[in-house]
Copies of this chain bind each other. A is one copy, B any other.
Amino acid sequence: MSYLEFGAIPLQVNPDLQEERDQASFHVTELTHIIDGGAEKTQLRKRLEKLIYSDPDFRRFPDVRTFGTKSEFYGASVLKSIKLFQLRKEHQWTDEESDIVHSLVDHGHALGLHHAMFIPALERLATDEQKAKWLTIAKQYKILGTYAQTELGHGTYLQGLETTATYDPGTQEFILNTPTISAMKWWPGSLGKSSNYAIVLATLITRGKRHGMHPFVVQLRSLEDHQPLPGIKVGEIGAKMGTLSTDNGYLILNNIRILRENMLMKNAQVSPDGTFTASAPNQANYATMVLLRVRISEFAYTNISKAVTIGIRYSAVRRQSKLDPEEKEAKILEYQTQQYKLFPGLALAYAILFSTKLLKKKYREAQTEIMKGNLQSLPELHCETSGSKAFCTEHMLKEVEIIRQSCGGHGYLAASGIGMMTSSSAPLVTVEGENTVMYLQVARYLLKRFSNAKSGEQIEGCTSYLSMNHAPYLCPFLSEKDCRNLSSLCDVYRYRAFIVISRVVRTVQTDIKDGLPQHDAFNKNLVHLVRAARAHCYFNVVKDFAEAVKELDASIQICTVLISLCCFFAVHGIVENSGDFLQTQTIGVEQLKWLKNLQTSLLAEIRPNAVALVDAFDYHDITLTSALGSYDGNAYERLYQSTEKDSMNSQEVHSSYHTYLKPFIQEMNKAKL
């Protein structure tokens, strides 16, 4: 074969991958329908994929994604935004359809915040009159907006935000200011270069009094020439680890005057004379945060399922070393250590999938109540979504990184798609509620519910087990076989969570009894409180996964493989956190031995269906954008092909040779020996 032929992609699927598909015990399409939520949903997704990918601007191949300047990416991303707006209008997409399209254009787009935050905020926070004014033109794309909350000095602690909006009754205007460097808005997407409007969150000051954070509509740039308006300094905050396409921005406001009517007044009002009134509880704002956290759990599913698709397909076509000295080199997927890197991620993808489906259902039910003004379910929903957000993103990021490592050196190449996945997964542990803060909010809720339970209240919802009566616990695992029982596994997780929570409650209470103020007692036990929240969340995800599998309306083949996977997920979680389980005496050392054996047995059991289980996620090759993970498995050819598009290869001799290298070599040759 000459080197000119190396780049040609074989027409057939790599036989090593085909062999995997041939040995699957179930029909992949059936599982794909379950994942999508029904055959008709799969069809809808495929129709939208076809529509989007028929446009070359949406075919993001590695050359576009990895070999350009930030400015080029951003420009391409503006174009994508506009095309999406036009398609959305033309096809009158429902929210569901928009969500599907968004999951295909996964690296965000320049004007993404317009639909993601600007319009929803107007819908939520504007009066009817204000909606008529702003929402209408926003939906017509006559103005393009974003939502500016986070500041350079404050993300988590909203009460600390420093931007001010001072009411001037003389002119009936608000005067917006950025009083210090840490007060500048910093991070909002679509802010740096794209938007001409923003909803700015600022501390309202009227009649010399501060009234907390409120939303103000502020025009940032001229609608004629896009120049920033006088008094406004706005720009890009700079390169990040990933998310090249978004112009996360900063914003400095210098005595910006806006009309009184630009304060969004659905929940609180300032009258012309400066009188402040609040008409709705602050909690109403929670509902949107809650939805965003559900969304992020869904992103976690997307990232881990893509990563494991790449990792498992590549491991089926990469051969390295010999298992048996007499045989040819083995697929790396055969190695137990490789399975141990990949299958936890595979199981996690399905766990997050089913758990998030359930959470979304709960969200919808609660949302209906909230719209009716019944906020009762909000604290529970807040706990569940905070916990889900933290658990899913934490575990996803960890497993994506392990999967990247499982791809060896090639996983470090941009063309692999998996390196970029770690970069785009990294922010999810921080955005929309930093994970440690999320766990501590869960912990606060757990402490409250625990004390409710203690005082005899009947607890319902995700913390109902806290009213567990103190009957002596007996480990349900009397033999290795028992460890396969999903109900028993759930029991073990439940009891472990219960013990960990009750212990930290006791410690905090003791510290208070010993004279510490409540906040000090809490602060002294932060590490233990996070542990308790993690134990609670782990139990919930295991339980959700187990229940979903039990209730599944599917073929026996699919049920069998998902039961194995769910069992592996639960067993792996115990082994990985075995110190906690042993310490709470929910299992003993004998049980741990059985669980470790079962864990490796399950690796072998899952092995034959590994490729089919990732095929079922049904990612389009363009969505994956991975030379290692393409459906046909021709990884080496695709890697080699990707080099052709690298700008470094556009010339045989790089320009720096002429500038630097040649003069140097000439000088060295002239030098005396």
Which residues of A line the B interface, CB within 8 A? Answer: 1-3, 6, 62, 66-71, 74-75, 78-79, 82, 85-86, 110, 136, 140-142, 144, 150, 152-157, 160, 178-182, 184, 186-187, 192-194, 223, 225-228, 233, 235-241, 247, 250, 252, 254, 319-325, 329, 335-337, 340-341, 401, 404-405, 408-409, 411-415, 419-420, 422-423, 426-427, 429-431, 434-436, 440, 517, 519-520, 523-528, 530, 575, 577-583, 585, 589, 592-593, 596, 600, 603, 636-637, 639-640, 642-643, 646-649, 652-657, 659-662, 664-665, 668-669, 671, 673
Is B336 within 8 A of A180, CB to CB? no
C-alpha gap A323/B79 in the complex (Å):
46
What 7 pairs across the A-B complex have the smallest Cβ distances?
A578-B579, A239-B414, A3-B252, A236-B648, A75-B656, A241-B419, A336-B526
> A405 — which chain B residues lie within 8 A by C-beta?
429-430, 435
Residue from B69, B228, B412, B661 within 8 A of A69 (CB atoms): B69
Of A154, A192, A527, A669, chain B has the most CB atoms within 10 Å of the CB of A527
Is B413 within 8 A of A156, CB to CB? no
> A78 — which chain B residues lie within 8 A by C-beta?
654, 656-657, 660-661
Is B252 within 8 A of A6, CB to CB? yes
Closest to A250 in B: B643
How many copies of the chain does the oligomer comprise? 2
Is B649 within 8 A of A144, CB to CB? no
> A247 — which chain B residues lie within 8 A by C-beta?
648, 654
Is B237 within 8 A of A643, CB to CB? yes
Is B583 within 8 A of A592, CB to CB? yes
Of A150, A179, A671, chain B has the most CB atoms within 10 Å of the CB of A671
Is B141 within 8 A of A665, CB to CB? yes
> A579 — which chain B residues lie within 8 A by C-beta?
575, 577-582, 592
Q: Provided the pairs A141-B664, A583-B578, A654-B75 are in contact, do residues A640 and B181 lie with their beta carbons within 8 angstroms?
A: yes
Closest Cβ of chain B: how far from A8's Cβ, in Å? 9
> A335 — which chain B residues lie within 8 A by C-beta?
523, 526
> A227 — which chain B residues lie within 8 A by C-beta?
652-653
> A193 — which chain B residues lie within 8 A by C-beta?
648, 653-654, 656-657
C-alpha gap A319/B180 in the complex (Å):
14
A-B contact pairs, 24 of them (CB 8 A): A3-B233, A66-B238, A70-B647, A71-B655, A140-B668, A142-B665, A144-B665, A150-B409, A155-B320, A157-B320, A157-B322, A186-B639, A192-B649, A226-B661, A237-B643, A240-B414, A323-B520, A337-B527, A337-B530, A340-B527, A341-B436, A405-B430, A409-B431, A528-B600
Is A657 within 8 A of B226, CB to CB? yes
Is B71 within 8 A of A654, CB to CB? yes
C-alpha gap A593/B526 in the complex (Å):
16
Closest to A524 in B: B336
Closest Cβ of chain B: how far from A334's Cβ, in Å? 8
Closest Cβ of chain B: how far from A500's Cβ, in Å? 12
Q: Provided the pairs A654-B75, A656-B79 are in contact, do residues A226 and B662 lie with their beta carbons within 8 angstroms?
A: yes
> A519 — which chain B residues lie within 8 A by C-beta?
323-325
Is B649 within 8 A of A235, CB to CB? yes
C-alpha gap A431/B247 in the complex (Å):
34
Is B160 within 8 A of A321, CB to CB? yes
Is B520 within 8 A of A414, CB to CB? no
C-alpha gap A458/B501 in the complex (Å):
50
C-alpha gap A646/B653 in the complex (Å):
29
> A228 — which chain B residues lie within 8 A by C-beta?
652
Q: Provided the pairs A320-B156, A648-B247 are in contact, do residues A238 and B3 lie with their beta carbons within 8 angstroms?
A: no
Is B412 within 8 A of A426, CB to CB? yes
> A440 — which chain B residues lie within 8 A by C-beta?
337
> A337 — which chain B residues lie within 8 A by C-beta?
436, 440, 526-527, 530
> A329 — which chain B residues lie within 8 A by C-beta?
157, 160
Is A181 within 8 A of B636, CB to CB? yes
Is A412 within 8 A of B430, CB to CB? yes
Is A235 within 8 A of B320, CB to CB? no
C-alpha gap A404/B136 in the complex (Å):
42
Question: A71-B647, A154-B320, A238-B646 provided; 15 other pairs, C-beta below 8 A?
Answer: A67-B70, A75-B655, A181-B640, A193-B653, A238-B414, A240-B419, A325-B519, A337-B436, A337-B530, A340-B526, A408-B434, A412-B427, A527-B600, A578-B578, A578-B579
Closest Cβ of chain B: how far from A243's Cβ, in Å? 9
Of A247, A648, A660, chain B has the most CB atoms within 10 Å of the CB of A648
> A435 — which chain B residues lie within 8 A by C-beta?
405
Residue from B422, B582, B655 within 8 A of A583 (CB atoms): B582
> A226 — which chain B residues lie within 8 A by C-beta?
653, 657, 661-662
> A653 — which chain B residues lie within 8 A by C-beta?
193, 225-227
Residue from B179, B192, B411 within 8 A of A1 (CB atoms): B179
> A239 — which chain B residues lie within 8 A by C-beta?
62, 66-67, 413-415, 646
C-alpha gap A228/B312 in the complex (Å):
37
Closest to A77 in B: B656
Closest Cβ of chain B: how far from A169's Cβ, in Å? 26
Is B320 within 8 A of A238, CB to CB? no
Closest Cβ of chain B: how far from A119's Cβ, in Å? 14
> A517 — which chain B residues lie within 8 A by C-beta?
324
Q: Provided the pairs A157-B320, A238-B413, A524-B336 are in contact, do residues A152 and B636 lie with their beta carbons within 8 angstroms?
A: yes
Closest Cβ of chain B: how far from A316's Cβ, in Å? 15
> A322 — which chain B residues lie within 8 A by C-beta?
157
> A225 — which chain B residues lie within 8 A by C-beta?
653
Q: Provided the pairs A69-B69, A648-B236 are in contact, do residues A178 and B3 lie with their beta carbons within 8 angstroms?
A: yes
C-alpha gap A601/B66 in the complex (Å):
46
Q: Provided the pairs A405-B430, A661-B226 are in contact, do residues A589 and B600 lie with their beta carbons within 8 angstroms?
A: no
Is B324 within 8 A of A409, CB to CB? no
Is B141 within 8 A of A668, CB to CB? yes
Closest Cβ of chain B: how far from A637's Cβ, in Å? 6
Closest Cβ of chain B: how far from A88's Cβ, in Å? 13
Closest to A231 in B: B3
C-alpha gap A322/B422 in the complex (Å):
32
Closest Cβ of chain B: how far from A520's Cβ, in Å? 7
Closest to A2 in B: B254
